[in-house]
Structure 1
Amino acid sequence: MFKKIEIWILYLIVFLGIPITIGFGVLVRQELIGSTKLGRVSKTALFLAEIPMNLKKIFLSNQLQVAGERFPLLDNFNGTPNSSESYLLLSRYDRDLKEGIVELVDLMNFKVLHTWNPDINKFNDSVKQSGEFKYLNRDGNNSRFLLRHPLLLKDGGLVFQDSSPLMKIDECSNLIFQNTQDRFHHSIETDIDGNIWVPSYMYPQTLPVEKVGRDIVEENGYIDDGIVKLSPNGEVLFEKSVSQIFIDNNLESLLFSSGDYRFVKDPIHLNDIQPVDFDGEYWKKGDVFLSINSQSMLILYRPLTNQIIWHGKGPFSRVHDVDILDDYRISAFHNNYKFFVNTNVVDGNNEVIIYDFNTNKYSTYLEESLVENDVRTKTNGRSQILPNGDLFIEETDFGRTLYFDSDGSLRWTHVNRADNGNVYGIGWSRILYTPESIKIVKNFLEARGKCND
């Protein structure tokens, strides 16, 4: 049936295959981390090496299913509802719909009051699929899109993104605006004037081409994180490259002086912008706090003067979600994620840290509660310390949300489990507890119209 192959031919194939394989590996390595690129040759080698990964992205249907099973007995909400009025904008992947949705949940009874389910594919059709949006349909279609960090505005619009254009929809999930100036990512916050602050991937990159090139993020390009301020109508009012801010404030060495002597394409990884809404001893209205994940650093930046007023590195690793607690303290969630010789792990558990500007000291908040409940998302994650001392946590990688009373006891959890028994992704849900946010919710519920299903 099969013809015999001469043994010398087999030896020749093996003999030639070894140097070809080594050479191919060298080209891929050179394109990824080498100081000297080899143009189309190394780019082509990398393209071929990434074919399996790209096929996985294209054909894997359950990419929003979380890995592993850590909570076999937990499903949906479990525990005691909140005793005071509060709500949750729960961003989650609905396995039955095979789409991302946002649910407005009353935390006093866990009832869903409203659901948003926009047609992302329809929104994508109006975006030119080139440049930074080259892979928008592949990576950001209905079945792969989470409505990340949803924000309910005073006018009843819901703002969200997912490394995508910034979108605003009405109560019936109809598109109000879609800002395509850049791809927006991670957090969405508002300031006291109602303006919206969101990180972006600035493209083309603002730094010189000879320093960072012009490849897009998905093709191993330099991630030029930007601070963006937009009006409630989606008009860009301010945008600034964080890399350029580092350069302007004599911190360029943190961008281009990696310890292992290679070009780092994600030296910033901006994941939160927290506007300052009042003057204080340590900051002014109009300042913003920045969470810089790749540097494990918190920054107080003044856009008016382009100055870094303060930056802190402390007992935390891979920081997320900086919040202002009062006129002298801030808090942040950190993953405690570290890279060791043979692995990368959460070194223990996630933590919520507090920095006191008066004493220049860091402390942890409800540390034992996070250990007891084994909170350990490698990436992402959110925290919010409420005025009464309660603590809200999102353990993003595992589809779990937790709420602790001020004494550290676990009040309730939510696990995004589907009817098939699997747990699916969540997308930076937002707890609403301030008088202003509660008023926004009530006004929304009273004013919303009837939607056509």
Structure 2
Amino acid sequence: DPDGSVLFNFEYQGTVKLDRCGKRLWSLEEFNHHTLSPATGGGYWIGGRRIVNKPDDPAFHPLTNPKRERGRIEDDEILRVSADGEVLARKSVFEIMMENGLEPLLTANGMMMGPDALADNEILHLNKIDELTPAMAAAFPEFAAGDLALSLRDFNLVMVVRPSDWSVRWHSTGPWLRQHSSRFLPDGRIAVFNNNGYIFALLPDDKVDLSAPERSNVLAVDPVTGQSEVLYGDREGEVLESVVRGAIQPLPDGGLLVTETEGGRAFQIDRERRVVWEYINRYDADSVIEMTTAEAYPASHFTVSDWSCP
């Protein structure tokens, strides 16, 4: 944040805010994970999750079976959190889909409806919430400032929703596979980190098989025409591979900051797709440490003049 404080999700345990010297300002004990981004007007959008194990919970009818006696269902939520850590609003992503006529998508991947369906499993896996800012809204006349782009990995689904009534304004299944980090672009398109593969591509120890071809890329789609374009990853020398996770950040100069999670790498590309710089989170001569995401901030972002601590 501009005051030098840092906000992060402690995966599936909660959210913590530290001041610039490392003192805890507040923590939020929620089942939060993955996505965390600033909200226009203050506060944050955070990806939450609730565990449902009550067979009579009406919010999940008809996907859950009322005779269920074992297992649990994990439902992703969108949380609006204030700057001081208060949950101002929450909305089930499952409910958004049910309320907007997208129930057919919930079983399109072969999900069963028997009494053992979804035992100990998640429904959607929300991994990114990105708000359309007022400064960028003119590039998206079909949307409005404040709309949210959501990335739902398990259904290869990206959709835009309006928080004022939780209506779905647009959605697309593919052309990406198991994507992460859907982001609005200044040119009126939506970009995603396209993992372009499935988790069984990992070796038994969850390491990347270096003999496998690099398949990941960064895709952009026009929500009006449906046309898509690879922004990085399909040309000679553009090495990019992360079977799970990964992130992108549009930059003011038209370039991108890309996080290749399993490559332990963050790098910036310009408009011509040239790598400006890269950082490798090296562990030893043969291994790297995963990086979930990287974010770039201009010096003008900060209000801190003295970064020293007691």
**Residue 431 of structure 1: SS of its match in structure 2?**
coil
Over 3 Å counting, the alpha-carbon distance change for 1:220 and 1:395 in structure 2 is farther
Matches within 5 A, 1:427-446: 427-433=292-298, 438-441=299-302, 443-444=303-304, 446=305
Matches within 5 A, 1:26-425: 153-161=1-9, 162-180=11-29, 182-204=30-52, 207-208=59-60, 211-212=63-64, 221-256=72-107, 258-259=109-110, 261=112, 263-264=117-118, 265-278=121-134, 279-280=137-138, 281-326=141-186, 328-338=188-198, 348-369=214-235, 372-418=237-283, 422-425=287-290
Q: Which runs of 5+ in 1 are unaligned?
A: 1-152
Over 3 Å counting, the alpha-carbon distance change for 1:235 and 1:388 in structure 2 is same
Over 3 Å counting, the alpha-carbon distance change for 1:394 and 1:213 in structure 2 is farther
Deviations 1:138-191, CA, capped at 9 Å, x for gaps: xxxxxxxxxxxxxxx2333210012221110011211100011x2111121112
Equivalent residues of 1:336, 1:350 under 8 A apart:
yes
How many Å separate the matches in 2 of 1:208 and 1:378? 30
Which amino acid in the other structure matches residue 354 of structure 1? A
Structure number with greater CO (CA < 8 Å, separation at least 6) is 1
**Residue 254 of structure 1: SS of its match in structure 2?**
helix
Equivalent residues of 2:170, 2:223 under 8 A apart:
no
Question: Among the aligned pairs, what percent are the same residue?
Answer: 25
Equivalent residues of 1:282, 1:328 under 8 A apart:
no
Deviations 1:300-334, CA, capped at 9 Å, x for gaps: 10121121111012321111111111262221111
Over 3 Å counting, the alpha-carbon distance change for 1:154 and 1:357 in structure 2 is same
Over 3 Å counting, the alpha-carbon distance change for 1:256 and 1:357 in structure 2 is closer
**Residue 430 of structure 1: SS of its match in structure 2?**
coil
Over 3 Å counting, the alpha-carbon distance change for 1:212 and 1:449 in structure 2 is farther
Which amino acid in the other structure matches residue 230 of structure 1? V
Q: How far apart are 1:430 and its partner, in Å?
A: 1.2
Q: How many pairs align?
A: 287
Structure 1 consecutive aligned stretches of length 4 or more whose deviation exceeds 6 Å = 343-347
Which amino acid in the other structure matches residue 127 of structure 2? N
More helix by share: 1
Which amino acid in the other structure matches residue 385 of structure 1? P
Which amino acid in the other structure matches residue 226 of structure 2? N
Deviations 1:214-263, CA, capped at 9 Å, x for gaps: 9xxxx963220000111111111110010111111122233245426463
CA-based RMSD of the aligned residues comes to 3.1
Q: Which runs of 5+ in 2 are unaligned?
A: none
Q: How far apart are 1:358 and its partner, in Å?
A: 4.3
**Residue 74 of structure 2: SS of its match in structure 1?**
coil
Over 3 Å counting, the alpha-carbon distance change for 1:428 and 1:368 in structure 2 is same
Q: How far apart are 1:357 and its partner, in Å?
A: 3.3
How many Å separate the matches in 2 of 1:399 and 1:226? 28
Over 3 Å counting, the alpha-carbon distance change for 1:254 and 1:210 in structure 2 is closer
Over 3 Å counting, the alpha-carbon distance change for 1:448 and 1:204 in structure 2 is farther
Which amino acid in the other structure matches residue 439 of structure 1? S
Equivalent residues of 1:328, 1:358 under 8 A apart:
no
Larger radius of gyration: 1
Q: How far apart are 1:407 and its partner, in Å?
A: 2.0
**Residue 244 of structure 1: SS of its match in structure 2?**
helix
TM-score, normalization by structure 1 = 0.57
